[in-house]
Amino acid sequence: MKGFTTKQIVATGIGAAVFIILSRFAAIPTGVPNTSIETAYAFLAFMAVLFGPVTAGLIGLIGHGLKDAILYGSPWWSWVIVSGFVGFGIGLIANRIRLEEGGLTTRKIILFNVTQAIVQAIGWIIIAPVLDILIYSEPANKVFVQGAVAATSNILTVGVIGTLLLVTYAKTRSKAGSLKREV
């Protein structure tokens, strides 16, 4: 746990709180049963890019775990693990985007979206269903359909809302090396 800065710890804690509030109050039902636009994942993706894999992975784990516990009475472990995985996976590109320095180029936005799509596809279509089968022996076609629906909706949510959050944030940062010496 060396190198885990105070700021990252606080970001984990408060980030998890925001994740819980967003999944409780800011999920927009789509009309398809059990599927909603989970704005919490757009937020998670943003935190992943800003604070890196460890912080975002923990936000996913703690946020989702506590949310399930507080709202449903017990954590649904297979999906909690996937939330942690999604945060961690997207966080891996934090160093290549360097959001703090502003200057969010089109290439970086594409990198972000390709990464989030791959990570979430692995998480929701492979890890979550496989864990559901291993732990709960649920029928394969049911869990894979569920996973595919979750993947589609979450990839779109992060793609649209998550990208917008990044762009807006980047605009508030002054670009590194943007100062010029007056002659």
What are the CA-CA distances from residue 89 to residues 47, 60, 86, 176 (Å)?
Answer: 12, 11, 5, 26
Q: Which stretch binds another protein (CB under 8 A): 23-31, 84-92, 97-105, 115-123?
A: 23-31
Other Cβ atoms less than 10 A from the Cβ of 85: the count is 20
Q: What angle do CA 13, 16, 19 make, to 5 degrees?
A: 155
Residue 167 as a binder of another protein (CB under 8 A): the answer is no
**Residues 75-134, interacting with another protein (CB under 8 A):** 75, 77
Which member of 110, 114, 118, 145 binds another protein (CB under 8 A)? 145
Dist. CA 62–CA 20, nearest whole Å: 9
* Closest separation in Å from C-beta 180 to another protein: 28
- For another protein, which is the closer residue by CB, 13 or 103? 13
Instruction: Rank residues 25 and 183 by Cβ distance to another protein and give the closer one.
Output: 25
Nearest to 38, CA basis, from 53, 51, 22:
22
* Local structure of 71: helix, strand or coil: helix
C-alpha 70/C-alpha 80 separation (Å) is 13
CB of 68 to another protein, least distance (A): 9
Instruction: Evaluate whether 124 touches 150 at the Cβ level (below 8 Å).
Output: yes
CB of 92 to another protein, least distance (A): 20
Element (H, E) at 171: helix 163-172
Residue closer to another protein, measured from CB, 118 or 134: 134
Q: Which of residues 30-49 bind another protein (CB under 8 A)?
A: 30-31, 33-34, 37, 39, 42-43, 46
Given the rule CB under 8 A, which residues bind another protein? 1, 4-7, 9-18, 20-22, 24-26, 28, 30-31, 33-34, 37, 39, 42-43, 46, 58, 62-63, 66, 69-75, 77, 135-142, 145-146, 160-161, 164-165, 168-169
